[in-house]
Structure 1
Amino acid sequence: MRKLWVQVLFILPALLIFSIFIVIPMMSSVYYSLTNWNGLDPAISFIGLDNYRKLLHDSEVWIALKNTIVFAVLVTIFQNVLSLLLALLVDGSRWYYRYLRVVYLIPALLSALAIGYIWSYLYNPVFGIINTVLEDIGLGQLAQDWLGDPKWSMYSIVFTNIWQWAGITMIIYMAGLQAIPADLYEAANIDGSNKWQTFTRITFPLIAPAFTINMMISIIGSFKVFDIIYVMTKGGPGTTTESLAILLYKKAFNFNEMGYGTSIAIVMFLIILVISIFQLSFLRKREVEA
């Protein structure tokens, strides 16, 4: 019993911190999602599942969900493809590879707010460097209002998000690549395997754990995206780039519908939970098969 109490005492501080900052706020959120609280009035009215019924018929929620899914799919696919290519390019012992790794990682070290402001200036249709360069090289017809045009705004934010976070996923892929025994590559060379065969039959199967981690990080981060969209477009033009997190913020803090906004947060949590469980089970199965 004394040994058990010692273990409990060691666990207790972390458990208290976890409960105070994670468990209690989560339970409070579930309660507030069942009320019509405006975030200011001390009087809170319990309305049951009315907020969730309202969600099902709210066109704004469905538009935000569609935008979030589009953003998550684009970011997850292209960020992982780009990161894997970068990892393969700088996975070696040449002296300048170390500097390239640092360069690719620098954007991830910057604040998403700073990234958003920087790229907002770059995308500016009047004095932005992107349109200026296009005009200088004779491709002025390709210049766009990158954030103000509904056709381009989502893709512009997706590109910015990938630019910022590709370095992190690259590092994880590099860890997976460096864990592959060199003997396997030597054996493949002796057997006459070309680079594509080596990649598909050795490299890609053996980086399955890194692939699982990066896919999970990408999909969860994409469904929670808020800061970079808020800085660059605030969900506009119209509702073109409005994500669930942006809609949650607007409902809770702009329109003082804290109860309704919290119900959106609970739905986001459930969507992420279901997708994560399904994705993890599928990718873990792939790891075993690999």
Structure 2
Amino acid sequence: MPLPAARGAGRAGTTTARRGKRDRAQSTFYWMVWPAVIAFFLFHTLPVLVGIFFSLTNYAGYGAWNFVGVSNYVNLFRDDRVLQAYGFSFLFAVTATVLTNLISLAIALGLNAKILARDFWRGVYFVPYVLAILVIGYVFQFIFSNSLPKILSGIPLFADNILTNETWAWTAIVALAVWQACAFAIIIYLAGLQTIPREMYEAASLDGAKPWKQFTSITFPLISAFFTINVVLSLKSFLQVFDPIVALTNGGPGTATESVTLLIFRGGFSGGEFAYQTANAVIFFVVITVVSLVQFRVLQSREAEF
């Protein structure tokens, strides 16, 4: 039988060994995390700080510059072109978000049902998400400008190239953006639907609940968290729309489909408005952040009610 002193020494040795392992684990953790933190600071935080600095100047992207204070920010609220771009971006984003979630949820409900070759169709619907949107955009451009005017020549709206219609050109961009965005949203909704036990639907059927009642009382409340994720991500992404516009209309006709991101790109990199559009980018960042936070607050409160 070991002596008490020997037992104490053994416990002390075990404690020291555990402490050594914990210290090594913490050291490994920091060595893994710090490179990512440094890279994030260098390639994200630092450029943001530099951008905020230049937004307070009159820098054109080249040559000398001087501090102008907040005059860039004040002028943005007086610029009709900027206000039009914000109006278009929000109209586009809200419309595309609503359509994306309605279509995606309907398709996800169908795929979640007992249909033939369900896994195959899941893969088919996800294909648009992995394709280059700029390349697909040029395909859609050909369809809208050449195919549809011939196929739907009897419909006045499509008799001519809709992309040249100042009033309706934005709907073609919505069609392309929704077509691609549905792919990701469908996968999110499918993940949520698969968390619902089948027994709940069977019990509801025995109680006489119709499909619509099952959807409103069981399905939607239980996937409300997934709905929140899709809505927030969709609206944020659509507010920053760029590639579909470049591929289809390039902001035209005129400036009818010019989004905030396209305006920032044009003015900042080729229009000699680097500081001015940097200030626009700062405001746009704040707007997107506020909109996302409000969405989370409102939608998560609805989850709590469910």
Q: When the two structures are superposed, what TM-score results if normalisation uses the length of structure 1?
A: 0.93
Q: How does 1:207-218 map to 2 (within 5 A)?
A: 207-218=223-234
Aligned to 1:70: 91
Residue segments in structure 2 that go unaligned for 5+ positions in a row: 1-21
Q: How does 1:46-85 map to 2 (within 5 A)?
A: 46-85=67-106
Alignment counterpart, residue 9 of structure 1, candidates 31, 34, 42: 31
Greater alpha carbon shift after TM alignment, 80-89 vs 228-237: 228-237
Give the fraction of aligned pairs with identical amino acids, expressed as a percent: 36
SS at match of 1:186: helix
The 3 A distance-change label for structure 1 pair 195 and 237 is same
CA contact (8 A) 1:91 1:177 kept: yes
Q: Cα deviation per residue 1:22-66 (whole Å; 9 max; x = unaligned)?
A: 11111111111111111122x332211010011011011110010
Distance of 1:188 and 1:49 partners within structure 2: 60
Measured on the aligned residues, the alpha-carbon RMSD in Å equals 1.6
Distance of 2:42 and 2:84 partners within structure 1: 34
CA contact (8 A) 1:115 1:164 kept: no
User: Does residue 264 of structure 1 match 2:280?
Assistant: yes
Residue segments in structure 1 that go unaligned for 5+ positions in a row: none
Aligned to 1:287: 303
User: Does residue 123 of structure 1 match 2:139?
Assistant: no
Q: How many residues align?
A: 283
Aligned to 1:88: 109
Q: Cα deviation per residue 1:212-263 (whole Å; 9 max; x = unaligned)?
A: 1100111100111111112211111111111111111111122121101111
Which of the two has higher C-alpha Rg?
Answer: 2
Greater alpha carbon shift after TM alignment, 143-152 vs 239-248: 143-152
Distance of 2:193 and 2:81 partners within structure 1: 43
Aligned to 1:134: 152
User: Does residue 149 of structure 1 match 2:165?
Assistant: yes
Q: When the two structures are superposed, what TM-score results if normalisation uses the length of structure 2?
A: 0.88
User: Does residue 33 of structure 1 match 2:55?
Assistant: yes
User: Does residue 224 of structure 1 match 2:224?
Assistant: no
Alignment counterpart, residue 190 of structure 1, candidates 206, 217, 221: 206
